[in-house]
Chains A and B, each alone.
Chain A
Amino acid sequence: MNRPDDYLNADYSVSSWLLTTDHKRIAILYLLSITLFFFVGGAAAVLFRLELMTPPGDLVGPETYNKLFTMHGVVMVFLFLIPSIPAVLGNFLLPMMIGARDLAFPKLNLLSWYLFILGSAVATTAILMGGLDTGWTFYTPYSTMFAHTNVVTGVLGVFIVGFSSILTGLNFIVTTHKMRAPGLTWFRLPLFVWALYATSLIQVLATPVLGITLLLLVAERGLGIGIFDPAIGGDPLLFQHLFWFYSHPAVYIMILPGMGVVSEIITCFSRKRIFGYPFIAFSSLAIAALGFLVWGHHMFVSGQSAYAGMVFSILSFLVAIPSAIKVFNWTATLYRGSISWQTPMLYALGFIGLFTLGGMTGLVLATLAVDIHVHDTYFVVAHFHYIMVGGMVMAYLGGIHFWWPKMTGKLYSEWWGRVSAAVIFIGFNLTFFPQFVLGYLGMPRRYHAYPDEFQVLNVLSTAGASILGAGYLLPFVYLLLSLKYGRDAGRNPWQATGLEWRTPSPPPTENFARVPEVREEAYAYGAEEAP
């Protein structure tokens, strides 16, 4: 072994991993756990997409079908998307990007991971006991008084996972405030840090509401205390208000960090300073703030008053503006750059395109009269998959490819990287674009069987899903192979700016031998290339 000490080979014992407080090792623990859940959630999707190949419900029964889409939603949202970028890339990079040796509370960080594992173990138990069938939205009174499945266990799992999310957010906020290297002012921070900061605010402020709501649900289901079921004096719409008060902001937990990743990648692969730095930074905060005020757009046909509907509609239009600002600024960053089409960049450009389409169809849903028609149809399903899969998963994969050399010290096969990015882009659009059409035609979501006239579009969607599935397996394979066969990456294979690239790859446990001092703004491309 002629490799110098780094965080990976510092100690090989199992306990050195399970008791680590090194943010980089914790990031790897998260990476392994959420990758597992990604494939679990994906497997459920494969099964119900197969079921939907034909109009009658013939492959699995209705109860099984309902459990499959519930499992897909719960696992993907709570056990994959929410922790994805923050807990993996954020954990790994935040301290290094700000020139720190670790997060502010390293032990708390480890506790977050254990809470995540405990919560997901409880949720997995619910699945193994036979699953639950409420949908990831747990609407009452179905979930409290009518479902005959393992609702309480599943909900408690999600409740526990919520605490892991809160603690991570708290840790990031304190770290960003207190641990920046000398000279690293707020406006010199990489935009990924701004995005993580905004995300953390949401995690800390919104997640407790989810916890309370889920406990109330358990109180009604388990103890018969009337909160949501009108038969015992409750109000079912109260649940929707509380649930979406968390779950709309949660959408931004699931997209803001992706936006941060894209800012890093776009600048590096076009060798340019980001266009409109303060606008991108503040739009993250604007999204976090406005995101708290739009939850009622999920309730336009619920019986909520028309005036409430109008207020939530206009606010939903407003929250789209900061996102539009980001998209324009990213695009302007490309102008007169020196653009290389490497794998992370392909993902980032794919993100911008798909996120734009997802955002624009969000406006369709925010438009009151049109939402009456498309609410609870496949149009909604397509819309949020464009944001969460086309957006967040693309950004996550882009980020993994961008920082893989830093995390592992190895380079993956660039050719396979580009191929899989292309396969995922094509598979994704083939899966979800037909669902927009299906939705406007009126196919409701969560339908186990459907009328014949919807079949052609459903078959297209399933065909796309199989391409998408193959696309996701590819990186899994070649990234693993790169660990053994990949070339050494060196400190900075992309010639990127940013403090994380100034340390060896993989970084030593303490990140920096000497705490760096920052004298320039972020993305100072050009300095090192100028003759």
Chain B
Amino acid sequence: MPTQAPLFPEQASTMAGRIDALFFALLGVAGFFTALIFGLILVFAIRYRRRPGRSSVFRTREPLWMELTWTAVPLAIAVGIFIWGAALYVEAARPPAGALQVFVVGKQWMWKIQHPEGPREINELHVPVGRPIRLTLASEDVIHSFYVPAFRMKQDAVPGRTTVAWFEATRPGVHRLFCAEYCGAGHSAMTGRVVVMEPREYERWLEGGGRGETIEASGRRLAERLGCLTCHVPGGGDRGPDLVGLFGKEVRLRDGTARIADEAYVRESILDPAAKITAGYEPLMPTYQGQIGEEDMLRILAWLKSLNEQKPEFRSQKPE
């Protein structure tokens, strides 16, 4: 982490340099037009300042081509920059296949982090260098935002839904983590660090940090405790549909419509089962609203996803 007074943030992710390049292009455009306007104003204001014996020409010709030029040129530049920015954004929104999963829950005022292999951390995130990391974010109370400036990465953690972000760190180091969405008295204390390590070191950290029960296993244990498996038996029974292979599949609903079973759908099925009834089943499932916290929800989601292991990559919620 920097100590003196830097004027430009460190670039520590694969995206950082590419976002900065676009930013510099924008600065170039902004600098050009600002200098042009400031320059013209100064030149005109001095060259045509009021002097005795010289009056204005009152009215200059207003050729149409001039208006069209200064409409069309900024428009063309704007469209170009839009395309550049959108292309990068789509990339930033889609985690690459095979990314390492990390689950993040924001809560007034801390970041709770769970690695799939077991270790849990608070306000600290350890990751290996050179591997894409896919963050699944949720919030237990208000909206927070997970922000690592050195990665040029930010994503809101919104209560009631899961959001997704990813990054790939490019070299070992320690970076600041901020909460960027105002969340109350402890907002500016909701900070932490991201520690990027060599893969070998990361392995060692995992061992030491208690590689214990995996998140899927604890999700399964939770599902047993909550009685999910009494109705959802493998292969499917009349009490509840089969959950194996559910994730990412198209589900037919009783009202004749269909929905992709993404995180939002599954979350709703658990918290508000009556909202969408699966075709061929009765609305028997009880609501778990108030019984399952955000961390538990992430565990159950991880367990459900692990049920269709054959699929290498699960559908992310973004882009829809």
Contacts and interface: CB of A to CB of B under 8 A. Distances in A.
A125 interface: no
Nearest to A452: B3
B200 interface: no
Interface string B166-184: 0000000000101111111
Contact of B48 (A325, A337, A450): A337
Contacts of A320: 74, 78
Contacts of A446: 182, 187-188
A279 B67 contact: yes
Contacts of B161: 230, 303
Interface string B1-45: 111111111000001001100110011011001100110110011
Interface stretch (B85-93, B229-237, B241-249): B85-93
B285 to A, nearest CB: 17
A273 B59 contact: yes
Contacts of A327: 37
Contacts of B81: 317, 363, 367
A306 B319 contact: yes
A369 B13 CA distance: 14
B188 A449 contact: yes
Nearest to B69: A328
B118 interface: no
Contact of B78 (A303, A309, A318, A356): A318
A454 B5 CA distance: 6
B56 A526 contact: yes
Contacts of B7: 437, 441
Nearest to A139: B143
A349 B41 contact: yes
Interface string B61-82: 0100011001100110011011
Interface stretch (A172-180, A205-213, A232-240, A502-510): A232-240
A303 B18 CA distance: 22
B141 interface: yes
Given A272-B59, A360-B34, A453 B2 contact: yes
A142 B54 CA distance: 63
Interface stretch (A6-14, A153-161, A371-379): A371-379
A306 B164 CA distance: 12
A150 B81 CA distance: 43
A235 B161 CA distance: 9
Nearest to A299: B156
Nearest to A272: B56
B38 A353 contact: yes
A516 interface: no
A442 B145 CA distance: 13
A154 to B, nearest CB: 16
A289 interface: no
Contacts of A529: 55
Contacts of A314: 79, 82, 86
Contacts of B93: 306
Contacts of A63: 185
Contacts of B79: 314, 317
A276 B68 CA distance: 11
Interface string B144-155: 010101101111
B192 to A, nearest CB: 12
B257 interface: no
Given A141-B159, A440-B8, A301 B145 contact: yes
A338 B52 CA distance: 10
Contacts of A349: 41, 45
A455 interface: yes
B163 A442 contact: no
17 contacts: A135-B182, A271-B58, A272-B59, A275-B60, A305-B319, A305-B320, A313-B82, A337-B44, A339-B49, A340-B50, A352-B41, A360-B30, A368-B86, A370-B22, A372-B154, A373-B19, A373-B149
3 closest A-B pairs by beta carbon, nearest first, are: A230-B160, A442-B149, A526-B58
